[in-house]
Structure 1
């Protein structure tokens, strides 16, 4: 009986100890960066080591990460890139999925690799080239100010949302890796499917065609169909879109008349014109 009591007491102490762990900040805290590029969700999850007075990148064993040696690109289990759709990274097609990020720093160039076997985490000794999805060379840039904590960013998103850069910065070095995405085919399929179900999608389709310089006559047809529905013609922002399409088609007179209608409706709108009076004025002035 005494032995059973002691066993139970020991088990209780073990469970209590396991449940009463103290939470303290990690030396290399977890971080995450996300952005949508086009229609693609781009996410990087990583652990963020700090410089803490150490020599980070350089030649020889005095450096935390010597040139020419594979780096898990972060701390702990390394860094992971997730793509929701296929993408082109530095001219290489990379399928949608999750990949570990490895790098080989160098003085004049870095290698940037994506690795498909997530199970190795940050274990560079288990790296097997057969699981390598991408291995490219990028030129590092020297920074004038020290970045104390490793930082990833999804930077330089292009105006047309078709490209961006994966940027890594730490200590006095930064690299950028170009990413390109395609979404036109997806949008075109959505237009074909959804305008049949919901006529209000005609305005979204017309906007897309206008902004991407596709068939402007088709865009004009769609915007006219939308404005003909109910009281949609009072939506001066969409009447302005029609004026823009007409202007791009070279139909100056019709564009000016339509811009004036948009402007009058904007002036009469109780909640304000949202800047459309000036937009219409600017459009009219550009056509004279």
Structure 2
């Protein structure tokens, strides 16, 4: 197949971001530039892939390039330029890669991004969910082809997702609780809320045996100044880690260090 299907998916926070696309190759052609010699001319709208274009799926509401985007599926279109690209998300999936049917009123996002010149050419068009931040709240949608790369920022929240579930009185995914607790701990937000969430997670099923998350509880307690409770949680985490057949993944030392720091 000249332009095979591709897909990339990653969790950013509690949000699953998936891009499905078709991957054209350079094959010696001039790709981006001014004039008819180039496959994708500056200033012309591009389906950002081959065949029926590229689609992004967002499992929750996010911000893309600073603009709020509801959960759902969108087509990705771009307008290449020498010093600036336009990046658009499009709500009408029915047009596929048919740029002649494009209507601006169906745009959900239009953002300007700066292209980067690549030292090493990328033969096959590639999308990636790149640069995920340490606190797991931001990332970049990256497209690279030939000697050009663009990145579009994505921002997510943890607590909004959890609180929406609670407000809707639905059964909250326990994984949302632990992710939100970790986010609150990492960013120094409401530690009482973080402790409540981690306790709710550990109370579910066999989760209390997960020594890495019991260690998170110990860290939260330590940060709250509750030394006695933190030491107790760290000792429990260490005991669980010692008895875990697959190994302790360094958590015995982590707990030892935490306990030492609290004495």
User: What is the TM-score with the length of structure 1 in the denominator?
Assistant: 0.74
Give the secondary structure class of the aligned counterpart of 1:278: helix
Identify which range, 212-221 or 60-69, moves more after superposition. 212-221
Query: Structure 1 residues 270 and 110, CA, compared in 2 at 3 Å: closer, same or farther?
Result: closer
Q: Does 1:124 align with 2:99?
A: yes
d(CA) in 2 for partners of 1:286 and 1:205?
Answer: 25
CA–CA separation in structure 2 for the residues paired with 1:206 and 1:67: 43
Q: Which runs of 5+ in 2 are unaligned?
A: none
Residue 20 of structure 1 aligns with which residue? Answer: none
Aligned partners of 1:162 and 1:181 also within 8 Å: yes
Report how far residue 150 of structure 1 moved.
Answer: 0.5
- Determine helix, strand or coil for the equivalent of 2:10: strand
Pairing 1:93–2:68 present: yes
Shift of 1:273: 4.3
2:146 equivalent to 1:147? no
| Number of the residue aligned with 1:276 | 251
Spell out, residue by residue over 1:228-275, the C-alpha distance to the aligned partner (whole angstroms, 9 max, x if none): 99x999876566445323321224466456645654x35863745443
The residue aligned with 1:28 is 3
Pairs within 5 Å for 1:169-184: 169-184=144-159
Work out whether residues 266 and 277 of structure 1, in 8 Å CA contact, stay in contact via their aligned partners in 2: no
Q: Which has the higher helix share?
A: 1
> Which residue in 2 is equivalent to 1:246?
221
CA RMSD of aligned residues (A): 3.6
| Range with bigger deviation, 78-87 or 46-55 | 78-87
Instruction: Give the match's secondary structure for 2:261.
Output: helix
Distance 1:275 1:95 in 2: 39
**Partners in 1 of 2:222 and 2:87 — Cα distance?**
46
Render the CA deviation track for 1:23-73: whole Å, top value 9, x for unaligned.
xxx111111111222222212111111000111111111111111111111
- 1:104 pairs with one of 75, 79, 82: 79
- Bigger drift between 180-189 and 160-169 goes to 180-189
User: 2:131 corresponds to which residue?
Assistant: 156
1:70-103 Cα distance to aligned partner (Å, 9 max, x none): 1111111111122222221111112222222111
Secondary structure of the residue that 1:32 maps to in structure 2? strand
Aligned length: 258
Helix, strand or coil for the counterpart of 2:35? coil
The structure-2 alpha-carbon separation of the partners of 1:106 and 1:227, relative to structure 1 and needing over 3 Å to count, comes to: closer
8 A contact 1:50–1:149 mirrored in 2: yes
SS in 1 for 2:123: strand
Structure with larger Rg: 1
Q: Residues 247 and 287 of structure 1 are in contact (CA less than 8 Å); yes or no, is this contact kept in structure 2?
A: yes
How far residue 119 of structure 1 moved from its aligned partner, in angstroms, is 2.0
1:76 matched to 2:31? The reply is: no
Deviations 1:124-164 (A, max 9, x none): 22222122222111000000111000111111122222221
Aligned to 1:53: 28
CA change 1:259–1:28 in 2 (3 A) is closer
Q: Quick check: 1:117–1:131 contact (8 Å CA) kept in 2?
A: yes
